[in-house]
Structure 1
Amino acid sequence: MVNESDNGTSVVGSETSHKCGRSCLGPLTFHPLAVGAKVSLSHGCRLAERTGATFKNGLVFSSRPVKIQERIRLRVEKDSFGWTGALRVGFTNVPPSDRSLPLPVMAIPNLTNVQGHWAAPVQESHCQAGSELEFWLSGRGCVFVTSPDIKQHTVLTGVDLSQPLWAMIDIYGQTSAISLLGSKKRKLFQTRRSCPAPEYLTSLDADKHNSLIPVSSLHENSDECISFVDMKFPAGRGSVKDCVVCMEKQARVTLPCGHQCLCNLCASKVLRQFGTCPLCRYKISAPSLDGI
């Protein structure tokens, strides 16, 4: 699924992931752009909440492809017993960045009826607020679920392992909010773990105004999506050497919030698609962009 070079850097096609060391699997969050119409993300894209009086529109995906035997750990933060059914978990070989909005309203059957998607429900009794569970993919294409309250059991078989796979989670039914607690992959003499992901909101003002951002509202129709996942952002205001979007060209554009974090090309894309600073979500106005 994921090729690894000798220096421990993951490579998926043209995508690369940050690594702290050989025992690091890289940051793992919910993908910030491919989310259901009723999903809001917070806490560095590690808390996903389905809002509104509905049982659906709660799809989220992992920010990067996951490995075989990489156990993804979740915690149910909120539940609502006004609905039947609960969390659905699975995998897909369709990259989240390739998806158009709005997403389908449910994983089952809207996505599982489409090639490249596999998902199964988790029992309602195991999805109460405070419940923790792990799910992962075996080398034989089976999906397993376990928790402190339930033994390991198979929920799915027949997953195609020939392409990279992203975790797919549907915050469905009585489940209304979940946290992504990271992941781990056990080996004979070592356990590799995901590392803490970067926090995207770094200023106190940003935290006040964006404690729960409806990420789906950031999308506009465009031919190319920009993702801020797996990028190491500065701890405070000021300049950074590389553009935080492409991570290749020098950051020459200073935004009204004081962050100098974008190259000229990416600045125009960010302005067109989002109209906000990728670090603190400060609203950007075109005349205030320096260096374009």
Structure 2
Amino acid sequence: MVHLSQGCRHAKRSNSTFRNGLVFSSRPVRVQERIRLRVVEDVANWHGAMRLGFTNVPPEDRSHPLPCMAVPILTDTPGHWAAPVHEAYCQAGSELEFWVSHSGRVYFSNHSGCRHELLRGVDLSRPLWAMIDIYGQTCAIVLLGSKKKARFYTKRSCKSLTSPMSDTDSLISDDSISCLNLEVTTDGGEQMTCVVCMSQEVNVSLHCGHRCLCRTCAGRVFKQFGTCPLCRKSMRWPLGAGPPR
């Protein structure tokens, strides 16, 4: 009942129902990583709106069909945490971001910057995947990327995707270098940490001009995808990296 498009950043639920709108990230998200989204379509003939949260259950481990709603079906089972966002914050055009804190609390904020607590008690001992239930009045959303503040810089995800992905791909993908893979920038915009592994210092310059990969990840990205993870231009042998193994 959900159609994915725009590089699996846009998710639209069928207008014929108020439920069956569950989508998940296909890579784990990090504590304090703020996932940004915009509500692009809503309807007034249902009650309630979008539900946001996190889960310890990897998408690939789920059985099908998926439950018809996150609350209360998934939240009544271990490893799932979600809560509804008030309809007033989910009108078409509204932009939100949500995250889990180091204390296991889930918050969301809107364009005004006001922080609202959704729930508590998230288990941080295991990886977490984002969970969005496109429910009720909320019919369609688009991901705007994510960000995570560090001491001297902000890690941001890619702002756009130009290479096509199939409608069966996951909403947020790590291996495909999608919109929630973070890039690290200083105030001047220079890459500091590899946008793929987010741990090694960048040391490879691509022919498109982007310097965003470590030596190890450059070979893997070239072999699997053949395009720059930032601008999607075709990669030749990464400068200074040598042929991928």
TM-score by length of 2: 0.68
Q: Rate the CA distance shift 1:65–1:232 in 2: closer, same or farther, 3 A.
A: closer
Q: Retained in 2: the 8 A contact 1:92–1:167?
A: yes
| Aligned residue in 2 for 1:145 | 108
**What fraction of aligned residue pairs are identical, expressed as a percent?**
58
Q: Rate the CA distance shift 1:189–1:83 in 2: closer, same or farther, 3 A.
A: same
| Aligned residue in 1 for 2:123 | 160
The aligned amino acid for 2:55 is T
Deviation at 1:102, TM superposition (A): 1.1
2:64 & 2:107 partners in 1: Cα distance? 29
Does 1:91 find its partner at 2:54? yes
Does 1:105 find its partner at 2:68? yes
The aligned amino acid for 1:62 is S
Deviation at 1:231, TM superposition (A): 2.5
2:177 & 2:156 partners in 1: Cα distance? 18
Superposed CA RMSD in Å reads: 2.5
Unaligned runs of 5+ in 1: 1-37, 203-209, 219-224, 234-239, 245-292
Which secondary structure does the structure 1 equivalent of 2:72 belong to?
coil
The aligned amino acid for 1:201 is P
Question: Residues 99-136 of structure 1: CA distance to partner in whole angstroms, max 9, x if unpaired?
Answer: 12210000001100110000000010000000000100
Deviation at 1:61, TM superposition (A): 0.6
1:74 & 1:228 partners in 2: Cα distance? 15
2:83 & 2:177 partners in 1: Cα distance? 34
Which secondary structure does the structure 1 equivalent of 2:73 belong to?
coil
Q: Rate the CA distance shift 1:193–1:101 in 2: closer, same or farther, 3 A.
A: same
Unaligned runs of 5+ in 2: 179-220, 226-245
In the TM superposition, 1:203-214 aligns within 5 A as 213=167
Q: Rate the CA distance shift 1:140–1:132 in 2: closer, same or farther, 3 A.
A: same
Q: Of 37, 40, 43, which residue of structure 2 is paired with 1:77?
A: 40
Q: Rate the CA distance shift 1:193–1:114 in 2: closer, same or farther, 3 A.
A: same
| Aligned residue in 2 for 1:230 | 175
TM-score by length of 1: 0.58
Q: Of 6, 20, 28, which residue of structure 2 is paired with 1:65?
A: 28
In the TM superposition, 1:1-292 aligns within 5 A as 38-149=1-112, 151-196=114-159, 198-201=161-164, 213=167, 215=168, 230-231=175-176, 242=223
Q: Retained in 2: the 8 A contact 1:55–1:172?
A: yes
